[in-house]
Structure 1
Amino acid sequence: MKSNIVKDKSFEFSLKIILLFKMMQDQKEFIISKQILRSGTSIGANIAESEAAQSRIDFVHKLSIASKEARETVYWLQLLDKSELVNIEVNTHIKDCEEIIRLLTSIIKTIKSKL
């Protein structure tokens, strides 16, 4: 089976987000942790859903949703970092998510150019 880099990276990112969520819960941060968990794991879920797209337009739509979720996740991670609500380093998570955004943007642009 052919490797899907963006799917693999988003899955690994989701696992890291789950661990981050657990760490945030341990430090009694309950609000932003849930936002990060939802948006951070939604990226991979939307990418997985795109594999069953009914058309190229549907495929682009699903990946666009994944991209929006990734951008939201970066926002929450940056907010968490600047607010200093918890004592957890999140810069690696931000970089990982930005890499996923770049991959999604490239895929979306390529597919749109072929429509």
Structure 2
Amino acid sequence: MHKACRFRLYPTRNQAELIHQTIGCCRFVYNHFLSEWNQAYETTGVGLSDNGCSKRLTALKQTLPWLRTLDWTALQSALQQLAEAFDRFFDGTATPPRFKSKEHPNQSYTAQ
């Protein structure tokens, strides 16, 4: 049996701003590496590895300093979600991963 609890948070203005920044950065990282993965697959026939994406994320943080100010576990989680989406696609249980949009009504991120 699985149980779930639903609750609502009422963040302060600063907390809400940080949450929105984190969600935006997670969306950016997901879309950036989805684009890189698609380009690598088109040119070589092989996608990117999880370890390779993590190394590229570290390099991306050096070029984009605004990524360094946020929760690193949320960014790593975005990479893991992308890897799981590709795993489900190649297993035949899902459609190919799509780019995340800012227009989606339920924006969220996962921090472990």
Does TM-score exceed 0.5, indicating one fold? no
Q: TM-score, normalised by structure 1?
A: 0.29
Q: Which has the higher contact order (CA 8 A, sep 6+)?
A: 2
- TM-score, normalised on structure 2? 0.29
Which structure would you say has the larger Rg? 2
Normalized per residue, which structure has more helix? 1
